[in-house]
């Protein structure tokens, strides 16, 4: 819905009144809940870190959620105020309105939703709609979703609608129903077989069989291979998914396979090759010990509701990342972004807690964690002939000829291409006394800039050491501190500024070694003060400092910080957004009720 300032003021007033009055409602029966999230920046120019010219004095991303719940009906809406968004969001992201609106009718274990909804089939290989505000992702469908549990062990979903793409409200669609040009619909069925077979129940087996189907419709459009050859574009592109999940005691197993029909798009340079994904995962978990091993192969599985779209929007599916998301600053310096055009990914993890009283466990116990991830490309051979004849150029990741209209390439199933990413890390967590505990982490990472961020550099290898200490002196005073060091492989390019391939240090992916330090003090249970600095010892010799204070009071959280943020990638679940360098005062406010 397109709004003017009067309407926004009314909605804000109603929201705040509801938030205040909500406490008066009984806990049983209908309830109201909601949240406010506002991230603000007062930017400053800083040519040293490359902020560029700063034209705006104030930037913010603000979200207001309001939800109503009861025994039979739920409803909700979200107001977004993104007129001047934070740095790093594309121009189409800006806007203001109510892009999320829904009402759900519930009866027993069944429900029908009209409006916006989020859902996922299996691991999300063919369908996942979700919201990730830090990345500016909201690919909800606006339509209808039916959920049925007609019999024990059976879960059935049928859904369809139009996908949200920014604030795409046109002149003739004040309610915002003209989302994408096309529609997405699908169905998912899960059968928990153990509910029907007594032997499985008696022996604690959980066995689930699942099947999903999704199709997207987008009208044909004029896309040409050459000026005299127009592509015959499929209007309907379908995908299917089969999965088997088994859980027995401490063991778990998941096998999932997805297939997508021909889907020529900007992502794959308009080839007609089918897409596929295979995922295998095994887990073991009991008190004090956990292990996991999983493998994924995906090929041409970018699946969007708009075939010409680029960037991180309009995806119907989500390929799970098989890499660990790090919170330590230097470990997260070069995060991996899942490659929708194809990759092999392997991940394994192991965790063990040495018991108290043992030589390794000490008085309080010691936790050990090991995680390893490896991602590579597929072994592709590109073809050019429209009938899919013999490949002319083998293994060239950047074919010069036009492969539009062909099957694109062949890739043997067990063929591994070049390394994209490696991450092996070991962590020890030990509490030495009531007052002091220590985390020690070592990481080895390999990062391929050419593939992940299209930068002309060879693979960057890093050894990273992290020490994190915590002191809890009393209930009102605690300290946390971190010291991190990153040792990088030598830069693959030239340091000769007169050479034609010379790149300025600040533009490089590999800027050499880094050191990071953080001190954080918790006071009186609800106040936290922190100061940190990340210094590049390598090629730039720049400091990225940050100081701030956080205050929590009940449902309210306020953080005020000032400092520099380095240009880089913000990633979550394998999806990344580039954030340019910025500096200034940052304020974050969150409230839930």
Partner 1 sequence: MNKTNIFITVLATIILLACDEIPAGKRTTNTDSSAFKKPVVVVDFTGVDCTNCPKAADNIKSMHEQVGDKIIGVAMYPDCSFNHHSSFDLKCPEATEYYKAFGDISKIVLPSGMVDFANYNNQPIIDYTLWNSAVLQRITLDVPIEVSLNASIIKEGDNPTRKIEITSKITTKSAVSDNTALILWLIEDGIVGYQNDGGNPRNDYTHNHVLRTAINGLWGENFSVSPAGMSEKSIIYETKENKWKLENCSVVGLVINAATKEIITAGKAKIS
Give me the residues that bind partner 1 (CB under 8 A), please: 52, 55, 90-91, 185, 213, 215, 221-232, 234-238, 261-262, 266, 269-270, 272, 308, 310, 386-388, 397-398, 400, 402, 405-407, 449-451, 454-456, 493, 497-504, 507
Instruction: Report the C-alpha gap between 161 and 217 in whole angstroms.
Output: 10
Shortest distance, position 580 Cβ to partner 1, whole Å: 8
Residue among 213 and 589 whose Cβ is closer to partner 1: 213
576 Cβ partners below 8 Å, 6+ apart?
135, 312, 335, 337, 569, 570
What are the angstrom distances between the C-alpha of 429 and each of 130, 353, 356, 469?
33, 9, 13, 10
Shortest distance, position 69 Cβ to partner 1, whole Å: 34
Residue among 413 and 502 whose Cβ is closer to partner 1: 502
Residue among 266 and 293 whose Cβ is closer to partner 1: 266
- Contact (CB, 8 A) for 170 and 178: yes
Shortest distance, position 168 Cβ to partner 1, whole Å: 12
Residue among 263 and 482 whose Cβ is closer to partner 1: 263
Shortest distance, position 367 Cβ to partner 1, whole Å: 40
HEC letters along 79-91: EEEECCCCCCCCH
| Phi and psi, residue 528, nearest 5° | -135, 135
The residues with which 100 forms a beta bridge, in sequence order, are 78
Residue among 398 and 474 whose Cβ is closer to partner 1: 398
Q: Which of 520, 550, 548, 513 is nearest to 534 (CA)?
A: 513
């501190």: which residue's tokens?
481
Residue among 94 and 547 whose Cβ is closer to partner 1: 94
Residue among 76 and 87 whose Cβ is closer to partner 1: 87
Shortest distance, position 371 Cβ to partner 1, whole Å: 28
Instruction: Report the C-alpha gap between 237 and 184 in whole angstroms.
Output: 10
Q: Which of 546, 542, 374, 372 is nearest to 443 (CA)?
A: 372
Q: What are the tokens at 137?
A: 């992702």
In the three-class reduction of DSSP (H, G, I as helix; E, B as strand; rest coil), residue 357 is classed as coil
Residue among 90 and 178 whose Cβ is closer to partner 1: 90
Shortest distance, position 383 Cβ to partner 1, whole Å: 11
The residues with which 514 forms a beta bridge, in sequence order, are 486, 536
155 Cβ partners below 8 Å, 6+ apart?
147, 148, 149, 188, 189, 190, 192
- Measured distance between the N- and C-terminal CA atoms of the chain, rounded to whole angstroms: 25
Shortest distance, position 416 Cβ to partner 1, whole Å: 19
Instruction: Report the C-alpha gap between 9 and 3 in whole angstroms.
Output: 10
| Phi and psi, residue 346, nearest 5° | -125, 140
118 Cβ partners below 8 Å, 6+ apart?
129, 130, 131, 140
Shortest distance, position 539 Cβ to partner 1, whole Å: 13
Shortest distance, position 475 Cβ to partner 1, whole Å: 48
Residue among 135 and 464 whose Cβ is closer to partner 1: 135
Shortest distance, position 14 Cβ to partner 1, whole Å: 34
Instruction: Report the C-alpha gap between 214 and 241 in whole angstroms.
Output: 9
For 16-33, letters b (16+ CB in 10 Å) and e give eebbeeeeeeeeeeeebe
Shortest distance, position 183 Cβ to partner 1, whole Å: 11
Residue among 50 and 69 whose Cβ is closer to partner 1: 50
Q: What are the tokens at 220?
A: 């044909």
Shortest distance, position 545 Cβ to partner 1, whole Å: 23
Exposed (0-12), middle (13-18) or buried (19+): which is 444, by Cβ within 10 Å? middle
Residue among 128 and 503 whose Cβ is closer to partner 1: 503
Residue among 158 and 519 whose Cβ is closer to partner 1: 158
């Amino acid at each position: 819905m397109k709004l003017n300032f009067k309407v926004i003021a009314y909605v804000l007033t109603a929201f705040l009144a509801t938030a205040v009055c909500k406490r008066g409602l009984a806990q049983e029966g209908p309830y109201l809940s909601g949240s406010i999230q506002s991230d603000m920046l007062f930017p400053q120019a800083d040519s040293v870190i490359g902020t560029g010219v700063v034209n705006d004095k104030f930037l913010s991303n603000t979200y207001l959620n309001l939800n109503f719940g009861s025994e039979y009906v739920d409803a909700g809406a979200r107001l977004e105020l993104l007129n001047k968004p934070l740095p790093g969001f594309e121009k189409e992201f800006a806007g203001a309105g109510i892009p999320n609106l829904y009402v759900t009718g519930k009866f027993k274990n069944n429900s029908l939703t009209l409006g916006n909804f989020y859902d996922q089939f299996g691991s999300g290989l063919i369908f996942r709609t979700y919201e990730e505000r830090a990345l500016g992702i909201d690919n909800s469908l606006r339509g209808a979703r039916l959920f049925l549990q007609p019999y024990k062990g059976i879960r059935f979903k049928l859904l369809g609608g139009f996908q949200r793409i920014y604030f795409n409200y046109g002149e003739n669609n004040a309610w915002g129903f003209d989302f994408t040009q096309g529609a997405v619909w699908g169905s998912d069925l899960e059968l928990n077989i153990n509910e029907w077979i007594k032997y499985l129940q008696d022996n604690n087996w959980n066995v689930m069989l699942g099947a999903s189907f999704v199709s997207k419709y987008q009208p044909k459009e004029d896309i040409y291979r050459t000026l005299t050859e127009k592509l015959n574009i499929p209007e309907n592109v379908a995908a299917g998914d089969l999965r088997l999940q088994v859980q027995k005691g401490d063991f778990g197993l998941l096998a999932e396979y997805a297939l997508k029909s021909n889907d020529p798009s900007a992502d794959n340079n308009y080839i007609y090759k089918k897409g596929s994904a295979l995922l295998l995962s095994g887990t073991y978990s009991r008190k004090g010990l956990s292990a996991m091993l999983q493998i994924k192969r995906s090929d041409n599985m970018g699946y969007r509701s708009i075939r010409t779209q680029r960037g991180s929007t309009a995806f119907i599916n989500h390929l799970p990342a098989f890499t660990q998301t790090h919170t330590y600053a230097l470990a997260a310096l070069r995060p991996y972004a899942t490659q929708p055009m194809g990759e092999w990914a392997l991940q394994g993890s192991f965790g063990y807690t040495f018991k108290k009283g043992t030589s390794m466990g000490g008085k309080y116990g010691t936790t050990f964690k090991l995680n390893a991830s490896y991602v590579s490309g597929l072994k592709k051979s590109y073809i050019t002939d429209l009938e899919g004849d013999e490949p002319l150029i083998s293994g060239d990741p950047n074919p010069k000829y036009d492969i539009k209209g062909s099957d694109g390439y062949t890739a043997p199933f067990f063929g591994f291409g070049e390394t994209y990413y490696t991450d092996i890390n070991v962590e020890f967590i030990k509490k030495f006394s009531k007052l002091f505990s220590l985390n020690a982490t070592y990481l080895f990472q390999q990062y391929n800039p050419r593939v992940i961020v299209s930068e002309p550099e060879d693979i960057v290898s890093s050894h990273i050491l992290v020490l994190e200490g915590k002191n809890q002196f009393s209930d009102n005073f605690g300290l946390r501190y971190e010291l991190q060091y990153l040792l990088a492989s030598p830069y693959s390019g030239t340091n000769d500024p007169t050479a034609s391939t010379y790149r300025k240090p600040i533009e490089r992916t590999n800027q050499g070694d880094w050191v990071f330090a953080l001190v954080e003090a918790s006071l009186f249970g609800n106040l936290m003060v922190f100061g940190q600095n990340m210094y590049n010892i390598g090629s730039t010799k720049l400091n990225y400092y940050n100081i701030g204070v956080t205050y929590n009071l009940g449902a309210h959280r306020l953080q005020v910080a000032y400092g520099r943020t380095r240009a880089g990638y913000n990633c979550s679940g394998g999806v990344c957004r580039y954030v340019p360098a910025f500096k200034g005062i940052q304020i974050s406010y969150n409230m839930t009720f």
